[in-house]
Structure 1
């Protein structure tokens, strides 16, 4: 069995043995006023409970050690490793077991965990060097390139490049510089994973959010927005360019998004993907915990202005419940007053370790409930996604808009009673 890090959260092997009737990791009631952090009770499957224990950033000493030892003893090592890999939690699992249940590292495939994490450290440093080289090249050619997620997130939130698994590099550039940046990166060996015909490139740029570029096994996502246009969340990089901060990566300082802006972007990204990975919740918790000086009033006002306040509050609520972080009283009050968080958090809890994968209809319903502005809901519902737009030649793109509502009206409900909606990342 290979000890190399899994790419994009793939596990050690598919595990279909989980009983779909097993308890879900979190039960959310109709009221959020009882906001006590969640405890990984022994009645949950031991592997899930132990992984949830790893997500708690502030351990409570002897109690954490006693609980973790019991859970580790009850866990199936192979399923635990598979679950941790799929949720991006391998480094945090190793750190937790090494501190609180070191004997577990001698059980079965858990013996490979130290080697896996050593390989993760090497892999992350390799990607960090590629990121620095790409940033230098673009900067020398007058292209503003802002890295986010990946290496910079590991340093900003966790203070350690090795504590966060990531499978690619993410760079954001202004929309006007996308082609120039792509051509420059090709000089480094990064080539498009999905070559496009010239008459299709404009459609792609107008409707999607990133080019996927590949250099051997290294993937670089060149973003000009956070999500494709049908998601209904467009923010110009110019809004953030005046308040970028510096982060030291290896031995070099590079610009990245200010912590408050990064927090909002992480909330939007995870909401787009239905919060299906535990590490995304840990990222929110780690970033908030590492930045006690955040200007919450300004952040909430900015989130409200761009229609992402509910996504931000959901992120903070999940970080509090799963990771045990303390929220300022004012922020906690805003979370308690938000009427839709209970249902959204319940959906996240049910899907995090759920047996049935989310359907496209599940994604559409979640996205609609997540938006607080009526116009954003309409845009999410009626705007064609990239795949629908690419079905038509440029002179007939209007047909995609015409057929979109007809498609939704004529589509059969999914097994969950929802309408299918293309790709989950749209």
Structure 2
């Protein structure tokens, strides 16, 4: 059963709550709320800033204890300061890229921060995800190096200076690490790149995914990480908020082109977390692409407030793909290349390949044990 704290966080996903939504927040906060748990949960779910502003707009922030108000306010302003630095650091790199006539594609949170969130304190970021074509990869690395960013020796596509982290991608859909991921899309990444659109990032020209590809790839990213943060679904909700019938039709058509109709079904199902009214086009897709037993069971864990089960990304991300694509993706995800296993087990960088795969087998058995223990606990 969904707790009142989880219902409050779902209500707090509104960027500009109207009078009815503010009244709903007031009603929820009038219940017996464990405020400390609520704040801890908001932080874990990436929702602290949104909770702070929604409580403020609903006039109930003052009802919290002094220390609780201060903690929420501190989390909000920490996000503001952190995001300001990320924005400034990205602008410096974009300026240098522009001199070389190189364009990059903003991905995930950084691509949403300015277009969707008018207040940068509402959406925490941990890094800056950039998609760069292979032909421009060396130039981008050179620019980062010239600005003092150091390459992570375990994760070679990650560069850091102070608190700012750049995560580079030359392949869409994490195919830099799991090559079989390329088989999950019915179109090539060149097709996705051709659909990107020019956008302005505080005076700097960048590329962003088309709005339809954005929704689908955000959904896949959330599924890959077991939808462990509510803010990832809140991002999608905010993107879809003002769409018209033609937009919904175009999204569904694009999902069909990319072989990602099931991903869209999962997104629509997870929007049940909020008071989100799906249009007829989405309801028809849900009716046409019904969820299987295991799919529904996995997604309902998130509806209840938990992350998806550990096994669910293997099932959900590969759903609807051919046998070869599905088998290849699952096998490589479970037993990736040795260089990827050395990233998984950084203390075993110099170990032999056989030892790495033995450690992976032990790790997978550990995951199974955790899943069974969690299942047993939920049945008590």
TM-score range, shorter chain: 0.7 to 0.9
Q: Relative to structure 1, is the Cα distance of residues 47 and 87 closer, same or farther in structure 2, using a 3 angstrom cutoff?
A: same
Selected match of 2:314 from 364, 382, 390? 364
d(CA) in 1 for partners of 2:262, 2:241: 20
What is the TM-score when the length of structure 1 is the normalising length?
0.71
- Which structure is richer in relative contact order (CA contacts within 8 A, separation 6 or more)? 1
- Kindly tell me the number of residue pairs found equivalent between the two proteins: 351
1:327 to 2:278 alignment: yes
Work out the CA distance in 1 between the residues paired with 2:144 and 2:85: 17
Instruction: Please state how far the C-alpha of 1:282 moved relative to its aligned partner.
Output: 0.5
Change (3 A) 1:256 1:363: closer
* 1:121 to 1:384, Cα distance in 2 relative to 1, 3 A: closer
Moved over 6 A (4+): 410-413
Which is worse superposed, 158-167 or 56-65? 56-65
Per mean C-alpha deviation after superposition, the further-off stretch among 103-112 and 218-227 is: 103-112
2:347: which partner in 1? Answer: none
Distance of aligned partners of 1:355 and 1:153 in 2 relative to their CA distance in 1, 3 Å threshold: closer
Matched, 1:287 2:246: no
Q: Give 1:161's match in structure 2, choosing from 120, 143, 151.
A: 120
Residue number in structure 1 paired with 2:288? 337
Against the structure 1 CA distance between its residues 221 and 373, is the aligned structure 2 distance closer, same or farther, given a 3 Å change threshold? same
Asked if residue 271 in structure 1 is aligned to residue 230 in structure 2, the reply is: no
8 Å Cα contact 1:274/1:366 also seen in 2: no
* Separation (CA, whole Å) in 2 of partners of 1:110 and 1:286: 26
For the pair 1:248 / 2:200, whether they are aligned, the reply is yes
Does residue 1:229 correspond to 2:179, yes or no? yes
For the Cα contact (< 8 Å) 1:300–1:309, is it kept in 2? yes
Partner of 1:303: 255
State whether residues 226 and 308 of structure 2, in contact with CA within 8 Å, keep that contact through their aligned partners in structure 1.
Answer: no
**Are residues 391 and 374 of structure 1, via their aligned partners in 2, closer, same or farther at CA, if it must alter by over 3 Å?**
closer
State the distance in 2 between where 1:170 and 1:413 align.
Answer: 28
With over 3 angstroms needed to count, the CA separation of the structure-2 counterparts of 1:379 and 1:296, relative to structure 1, is farther
Partner SS, residue 286 of structure 1: helix
Coordinate RMSD, CA, aligned: 3.5
Cα deviation for residue 94 of structure 1 reads: 1.0
Unaligned ranges ≥5, structure 1: 1-22, 26-43, 202-210, 394-398, 419-426
Instruction: Flag the 1:195–1:379 CA change in 2: closer, same or farther, 3 A.
Output: closer
